[in-house]
Amino acid sequence: MYSDLSGIEWNTDYTFGMVLAHAELVDLSDQMAVIGLAADKRKLLRVLWLLADCGAFDLDFMDFACVMNEHTLKAGYDSLLESMINFSHAGDRPAIRAMIATIQNEVETIQAKQMEDLSKPSVGVMPVSLD
């Protein structure tokens, strides 16, 4: 479960019926596809909206998007990962948790390197005077 900006709590647990119903958007039974949602925030937001069954509450996608920000989207993603783990066979869960931790560490390392590269001054670029 996670909360949006207005304080409403949303559930990300899913069933085989939901996996089949939303297969055209993402295969929720494919662990790498679920993990990969971190790279596509629009698709992640759409998946969270569908899993929350917002249509049943007459909450359209744009209204749902308006109560989400980077922090709530991250909380929703984390909740979705936990649901994916719980959807898996109990014996596979430790390995899945380890795989997710490894992937998240690699992503954080890449992001830190990119930020470091961005903060370095460009070599060979000379300032141009507009005088």
What pTM was computed for the model?
0.74
Nearest to 47, CA basis, from 66, 33, 57, 67: 33
Confidence of residue 75 (pLDDT cuts 50, 70, 90): very high
Overall size of the chain counted in residues: 131
Q: What is the b/e burial string over 92-112, where b = at least 16 CB atoms within 10 angstroms of the residue's CB?
A: eeeebeeebeeeeeeeeeeee
Distance CA 81, CA 88 (A): 11
**What's the pLDDT score for residue 98?**
93
pLDDT at 91 over 90: yes
Structure tokens at 27: 């295969």
* Residue with more model confidence, 92 or 121: 92
